[in-house]
Amino acid sequence: METRTQTPAAPLRDHVLFRSRDLDEARERVAAVFCPHRLETLHARDRFAACHHHLRGQGLSLNYIEYGARTLIAPGELEGFYLLQIPLGGGAEISNGQGSYRSTPERAAILNPHLPTRMVWEEGTRQILVQVPRPMMQAHLAAMLGGPPDRLPTFAGPVDLTTGPGAALGRLVLWLVEEADAGGQPFGPALMARQIESTVVCGLLALSHDHQAQMPRAGAARPRHLRLAEDFIVAHLDQPITLIEVAQAAGISPRGLQLAFREHRATTPLAFWRDARLDRVRADLTAAPPGTRVTDVALRWGFTHFGRFSEMFRARFGITPREALRDR
């Protein structure tokens, strides 16, 4: 009697976005979730068989992708999101910025949105992908630092999935996938979803990145004079203030204030004030009524040199002020 081996169902099986053997269709459908990219098979095209399963949460999303054939994927800069890629089988050559490495089931890849990306997925590679919007990552980092970061966090890959924070994060992600496949709702209800997504992002920020030295130590409290200074700055964002005024409000010398910001925030009082105002500008632009002008919002928060303001805004958020207003 003949015995047939049943092929196990792919992860996120109840959330199929598409299945296709057409390269152009696969490129278009994947780009609709992530970003435009170059997609090519490097060997036998007849082995190409793409599938994409997609489960969207309130902020981040879980994805399962396989292409079958050895495939080149070159999106350039992702721009709008970070991407964690956990291979379940096979592997991939990853280039993100200047560095390159091989991703395997023991070594996940993490892609930074502001660095050019190029990947080659081996034949038979199957991956779970966690997409985290760039603003979500920035907001969580700001909450951990106690103030806006001076730049986007840049992660270093690969991520060791066998030990430490990488192993814990990998187990959490795979648990979410298993919960979805068991018929559960890993991203619901709303309050629970926010907590779970926050845990995933915090797990990512426990990995190696260029803000690691600024992260608060367990049990470390913000010094009183730093708290007073930050509170004074935030309360006077729409007013011109000086370093001396901030120092007086904090009960510390200007030099001591600068040292406190350097030690605990890895920034300066001026940079903290500037970034907090940029955050307010973006918040106003994304909630602006029809007819709002970028220049009016910039002036409201004290930016009078519009060329320089636009450069700072783009450096901080990855988009121009006009694009933020258009996408409100």
Instruction: Enter the CATH code of domain 224-326.
Output: 1.10.10.60
Q: Dump pLDDT digits (tens) for 244-268.
A: 999 999 999 999 898 888 877 778 8
Binned at pLDDT 50, 70 and 90, residue 6 comes out as very low
The residue ranges of every structural domain in the chain are: 16-213, 224-326
Q: What are phi and psi of 64, to 5 degrees?
A: -125, 130
How does 283-294 read in b/e, with b if 16+ C-beta sit within 10 Å? ebbeebeeeeeb
Average pLDDT, the chain: 88
Residue 219 has pLDDT above 70, yes or no: no
| Tokens describing residue 296 | 């009016």
Angle at 156 between CA 57 and CA 168, to 5 degrees: 55
Q: Would 16-213 and 224-326 be classified into the same CATH topology?
A: no
So what's the pLDDT on residue 220? 52
Binned at pLDDT 50, 70 and 90, residue 179 comes out as very high
- Sign, CA dihedral 220-225-229-235, equals positive
Are 281 and 317 within 8 A, CB to CB?
no
Q: Dump pLDDT digits (tens) for 145-165.
A: 777 777 889 998 899 999 989
Binned at pLDDT 50, 70 and 90, residue 112 comes out as very high
Cα distance between the two ends of the chain: 64
Question: Strand ranges (DSSP E) for the chain?
Answer: 16-20, 38-41, 50-56, 61-66, 71-77, 81-89, 92-96, 99-103, 107-111, 116-121, 126-133, 159-160
Fold classified for 16-213: Jelly Rolls (2.60.120)
| Tokens describing residue 130 | 């966690």
So what's the pLDDT on residue 1? 40
